[in-house]
Amino acid sequence: MAFADAGLTVRFVDSIAAVPALAWNALTTANYPFLRHEFLAALETTGCTTSTSGWQPQHLLVETPDKVLKAVMPLYVKTNSMGEYVFDWSWADAYQRHGMDYYPKLLTAIPFTPCSGPRLCVAAECDFAAIVTLVHKSVLALSESLQASSWHVLFPPEDLRDQLQDHGMIVRTGCQYQWFNQGYRDFEEFLHTFASRKRKNLRKERSAVYDAGITLQAMEGADVSAAEWELFYQFYASTYYVRGRRPYLNAGFFRQISRSMPEQLMLVLARLGSDAIAGALFFKGSDTLYGRYWGADKEVPFLHFETCYYQGIDYCIRHGYKRMDSGAQGEHKIQRGFAPVPTWSAHWIRHPDFRRAIATHVKEEAAHIGDYMQRAANYLPFRKDLQL
């Protein structure tokens, strides 16, 4: 299916493999590893994003008449709401109670990745607003042909959020927690920004891990052995199995990205003696470290905080990263120096009555989230004499 406007054509493809990697990556940004062709291709070729998993690719391309790529956007036909992190289960339930189908729906997001970042990447010479208008019209036409209930854009940046809102999409507010580098020389200088009691608590947490005889090693992706990747996958998968669920990602996915994009990976392994007992995988942008996956096969107090947060903060300081995006959820991050920040999603709902009801709900929800973020900021551990 293709739509033409102002000399440009919108085309939908059912696999990232239909797009040359160089052409796709030329439009995306190095600061956001999850839109790389290599990342999306690994999800598809290893079977993580398929119609069976409820993630049927339907990526959007904007091209000139001679097939020069001018804009790209990840797009999926969803038949469930798994792995999205902007929860609409209650919306789906309401549809079902009224005898209507919520699925399929269209989704612009990075699968299983609650990290804000670009969603529509446009060539520098193109008018961004005009491309958004063309994309909006094309996706809504696609939704008509598929009889999709809705289109959702998760974790977009502010410029795209504003453009979509101008086109009548409902903007929903969320909250996550991120760490910001204030030019610290080392971890100790960061720690000295804490109030005394908070600083002592964090030091106790770190000491508990090291006093248990655990050592930690931060390894660049290219330095991780095949055996270490397999160990890490076992740790990651265990976080799902203990809850009686299958992991979203399989071992093949991690093997593939370890080969195709190692320069944007960093793995922390925790060892007790010679045995690895836990691990956390981070993705690297040009100025942001993204904390993504974790797991352990041994329970050790505070090991999760050390592996996933303190090691990441230390890495950011040593390598000059401006911030650490630690993903979804986790109020416990606040007392460890992660500030509450807003996130957004944009929603087009076909049915007018549900559209009005959801818009009302989202407006009320935003007020509560705004109040929560103000209160949460009061629990940050920093000294009152510092303005961070």
- Reading the chain (388 residues) residue by residue, the pLDDT tens digits are 555 566 899 999 999 999 999 999 999 977 899 999 999 999 999 999 999 999 999 999 999 999 999 999 999 999 999 999 999 999 999 999 999 999 999 999 999 999 999 999 999 999 999 999 999 999 999 999 999 999 999 999 999 999 999 999 999 999 999 999 999 999 999 999 999 999 999 999 999 999 999 999 999 999 999 999 999 999 999 999 988 999 999 999 999 999 999 999 999 999 999 999 999 999 999 999 999 999 999 999 999 999 999 999 999 999 999 999 998 878 999 999 999 999 999 999 999 999 999 999 999 999 999 999 999 999 999 998 876 6
pLDDT digit string, tens, across residues 232-251: 999 999 999 988 999 999 99
What is the pTM (predicted TM-score) of this model?
Answer: 0.96
Do residues 215 and 363 lie in contact, with contact meaning Cβ atoms separated by under 8 Å? no
Count of C-beta atoms within a 10 Å radius of residue 313: 23
Distant-in-sequence contacts of 190-199, Cβ < 8 A, 24+ apart = 190/313, 190/317, 190/337, 193/337, 193/382, 193/383, 193/386, 193/388, 194/337, 194/381, 194/382, 194/383, 195/381, 195/382, 195/383, 195/384, 198/335, 198/381, 199/381
pLDDT digit string, tens, across residues 36-51: 999 999 999 999 999 9
Say if residue 187 is exposed, middle or buried (CB neighbours under 10 Å; 0-12, 13-18, 19+). middle
Count of C-beta atoms within a 10 Å radius of residue 275: 10
Q: Which domains does the chain have, with CATH numbers?
A: 2-174+342-377 (3.40.630.30), 182-321 (3.40.630.30)
